[in-house]
Amino acid sequence: MGSWCKKPNLARYQPSGLDSLRSDGSRKRMENNNNTTAETTAVVEESTGCTIFCAKLKGIKNTSPANILSSRAVFSSPTSSIIATGTDIVNLNIKFPNNYTKKSTKIKGIPAPIQIDECIGETIIDSKLTREIQSIAYSRGGTGSSLDTLAVIDNKGNISVFDNTVNGDTGISTLNFRYSITSDNKSEPGWCGVSVNHTSPNIIASCSFYDKQVRIYDNGKLVSSYSLANHPTQIAYLHKDDSHLLAVSEQNQLNIIDTKTKEIIQKFIPTTSNIYSLETSTNGLVAVGGEGRTIHVYESKRWANVGNWSGCLKYEITGINFSDKLKGVCYVSGMDSEILAGDYDGSSGSDHFAGIRVDSRWLGITKLNGHESLFGFTSSGGLYWVHDADKLYAGKKIITKLTGSKHQKENINNNGDQSTNSSGTNSPKHINKKSKQQ
C-alpha cells in the first residue's frame, strides 16, 4: 500500500513557454525589442469544467495488451478502482485531494490533469489464473447481498471470483478470493468475456471468441450453455426486471437471450462491421458500437431503436457508458485515446476539440454507478479519473434558418447533415423473431 495523499504538484501542468510564475498566478517574460525591455503577462485561468486526476501505475511496469475487445477497468466505489493486467489484479484505493486548483488548457472546458501519484494505494492480488486476463466484470451487491462481486476471465475461459468489501469509515476496498471456475473450452486461446448478474451475483455468464459458446454458471457450477453461429465479441446482463436477459454481440449482430426459456428473443443487425463494445443501462437501454464508429441504442420495453450516433469518434469505438444525470447522453471512448460526451441520437454531433485525450490507448474505461465519474486505464500504465464528466457535454448543436417569414431550427450533426428519425430508412435492420438455440 502506497503512502497517502500529499499536496499535488501542479507546477508541471502550468502553461509552458513563459519564464517565471508570479505569486498572483500571472507570468512575466522579458522580451528584447529595439534594445528595450518590455514586460508582458499571461494570466493562468482557473477551469470550471470537469476535474481530471491522473497517476501512473507503480507496482507493474509493463501492462499486457490483451485484445481490442478487452476491458479491464472497474470503478468500484468513490474511493476505489480495480484494474487487471497480465495475470494480476490491482486494487487501487484513492484519497482524492480536497484542495486543488484546476488550470485551463487550450481546449475550453478541459482542465489540465492533476497528478495524484502519492494519493494512490496499490495492492497487487493473485488472480489464481495462469493465462492473460481478458475481461473483468463487477456487480454491486444484489438481492439479499451486501457484498460486491468481481469476476475475471482469462484467454481460455477460466474464471476467478472475488468478494469486494468497502470499509464505511475509511473507504478502503478489500478483495477476497471466493472461488474459481475451470472452463471446458478446447479451442485455441483468445478473447473471452464475462458478466455478473446484477440481481443474483452468484450467476455468471461467459463467452469465448473461438469456440462460439456462451456458458452460464451458478455458484461456480455450469448450468447451461448456448452455441452461437458467429464469433461472440461482447457479453452483458441487463439490469433490474430484465436481469434474466443476456445481451451477446457476435460480429455485427446483437442477440438478446432469455436465460429462463433458453431462447434468443431478439436479434438486431445494426451494422455491417464488427461490434467491439456493448453496454446496458439501469433504465433498460442496450448500446453497441465498434468498427463502424457508430453507436446504436435500443430500449428493452418495445425493443425499438431509439438512437444512432454516427461517426462519433475518429477511430473504432471500444467503450460506451450512459450518463445517469443527462437523459439521452452517453460517454464514448475508442482506439484514438479519446473520451467524448454526446447525445446518442446523434443530435449533438461530434466536437473532437471538446473531448479528453490521454497518453495512449484505453485498456478499459468505466463509469461509477450513480455518479458522473469515469475511470480509465491505458496501455502505458496511466490511470485517469474524470469527475463531473457531464460537463464534457456541450449540448445539442442548433442552427437557425430563415425560411420565408419563419425561423426554422434544425439539429445538425458534425458533418452538417440534418439528423433523421431513428425509425427511418437509415435505421438498422431489425429482426424480431424467436429462434430456439440448438
Q: Tens of pLDDT along 65-92? A: 999 999 999 999 999 999 999 999 999 9
CATH of the domain at 342: 2.130.10.10
Residue 267: inside a domain? yes
pLDDT of residue 143: 57
Say if strands 20-21 and 26-33 run parallel, antiparallel, or are unpaired. Answer: antiparallel
Strand partners, 227: 213
Q: In one letter, which amino acid is 69? A: L
Structural domain includes residue 35: no
- Computed over every residue of the chain, the mean pLDDT equals 83
Q: Indicate the pLDDT class of residue 437, thresholds 50, 70 and 90.
A: very low
- The mean-pLDDT minimum among 150-159, 203-212, 416-425 falls in 416-425
- What integer pLDDT is reported at residue 336 of this predicted model? 82
Q: 102 in a domain, yes or no?
A: no
pLDDT of residue 379: 94
Count CB-CB contacts under 10 A for residue 435: 13
pLDDT in tens, 257-298: 999 999 999 999 999 999 999 999 999 999 999 999 999 999
pLDDT at residue 145, rounded to an integer: 58
Using the predicted structure, report yes or no on whether residue 37 has a pLDDT greater than 90. Answer: no
Return the pLDDT at 319.
96
Task: Tell me which residue has cell 468498427.
Answer: 291
The model's pLDDT over 379-393, given as tens digits with 9 standing for 90+, comes to 999 999 999 999 999
Confidence of residue 353 (pLDDT cuts 50, 70, 90): low
The per-residue b/e assignment along 197-209, b for 16 or more CB within 10 angstroms, e otherwise, is: bbbbbbbbbbbbb
- Residue 305's domain comprises 57-94+122-436
pLDDT at residue 415 greater than cutoff 50? no
Instruction: State the total domains in the chain.
Output: 1
Does some domain include residue 32?
no
- In a domain, residue 189? The reply is yes
pLDDT in tens, 165-196: 988 888 899 999 999 999 998 899 999 999 99
Pairing mode, if any, of strands 406-411 and 398-403?
Answer: antiparallel
